[in-house]
Amino acid sequence: MFHLQKATQVTSGSDEASMLRWLAAQYPYPPVPTSPPCLPRPYIRANFVSSVDGAVTHDGKSGDLGGPGDRAVFRALRGLADVVMVGARTAVAEGYRQPSPDAVFTELRTQAEQTPAPALALLSRTLSIPADYPPLTNPDTVVLTCRNAPEDQRRAFTDLGVTLVDCGEEEVDPTIVADVCAERGWRRVLCEGGPTLFGSLITADLVDELCLTTSPHLVAGNASRIAHDLATNVMRPMRTATVLTDDDGFVYTRWVRGGQDLDTVH
Ligand X SMILES: NC(=O)c1ccc[n+]([C@@H]2O[C@H](COP(=O)([O-])OP(=O)(O)OC[C@H]3O[C@@H](n4cnc5c(N)ncnc54)[C@H](OP(=O)(O)O)[C@@H]3O)[C@@H](O)[C@H]2O)c1
Q: Which stretch binds ligand X (CB under 6 A): 18-26, 87-95, 243-251, 254-262?
A: 87-95
* From candidates 194, 207, 211, 254, binder to ligand X by CB under 6 A: 194
The answer to whether 128 contacts ligand X (rule: CB under 6 A) is yes
Q: Which is nearer to ligand X, 10 or 88 (CB)?
A: 88
Ordered strands of the 209-215 beta sheet: 8-9, 238-245, 251-257, 209-215, 43-51, 188-191, 83-87, 119-123, 141-145, 163-166
Query: Would you count residue 58 as binding ligand X (CB under 6 A)?
Result: no
Q: Shortest Cβ distance from residue 201 to ligand X (Å)?
A: 8
Q: Is 60 in the site for ligand X (CB under 6 A)?
A: yes
Q: Kindly tell me which residue out of 26, 34, 94, 165 binds ligand X, with binding defined by CB under 6 A.
A: 94
Query: What is the DSSP annotation of 2-49?
Result: -----PEE--S-S-HHHHHHHHHHHSPPPSS-BSSTTSSPBEEEEEEE
Are 67 and 215 within 8 A, CB to CB? yes
Q: Which residues contact 136 (CB under 8 A, 6 or more apart)?
A: 122, 129, 143, 157, 160, 162
Q: Applying CB under 6 A, does 195 fall inside the site for ligand X? A: yes
Pairwise CA distance, residues 236 & 238, whole Å: 6
Quote the least distance from Cβ 120 to ligand X, whole Å: 13
Per-residue binding string, ligand X, 204-243, x by CB under 6 A, is ----------------------------------------
Chain centroid, CA 161 distance in Å: 25
From the list 100, 126, 158, 240, which residue makes contact with ligand X (rule: CB under 6 A)? 126
* Residue 247 φ/ψ, nearest 5 degrees: -65, -15
Q: In this chain, which stretch among 102-110, 133-141, 153-161, 192-200 interacts with ligand X, using CB under 6 A? A: 192-200
DSSP 235-246: B--EEEEEEEE-
Sole binder of ligand X in the list 83, 180, 197, 211 (CB under 6 A): 197
- Does 69 help bind ligand X (rule: CB under 6 A)? no
CA–CA distance, 235 with 205 (Å, rounded to integer): 10
Q: If binding means CB under 6 A, how many residues of this protein chain bind ligand X?
A: 28
Is there binding between residue 203 and ligand X (CB under 6 A)?
A: no
In the list 87, 99, 118, 135, the residue contacting ligand X (rule: CB under 6 A) is 87
Residues paired with residue 45 on neighbouring β-strands, in sequence order: 190, 209
CB of 266 to ligand X, least distance (A): 17
Among 29, 43, 48, 255, binds ligand X (CB under 6 A): 48
Using CB under 6 A as the binding rule, whether residue 174 contacts ligand X is answered as: yes
Rounded CA-CA distance 26/30 in Å is 12
Residue 170, Cβ density class (10 Å: 0-12 exposed, 13-18 middle, ≥19 buried): exposed
Q: Which residues contact 99 (CB under 8 A, 6 or more apart)?
A: 78, 84, 117, 118, 119, 120
Our finding on whether 193 is near ligand X (CB under 6 A) is: yes
Q: Which residues bind ligand X (CB under 6 A)?
A: 48-49, 56-57, 60-62, 65, 87-90, 93-94, 123-126, 128, 172, 174, 192-197, 200
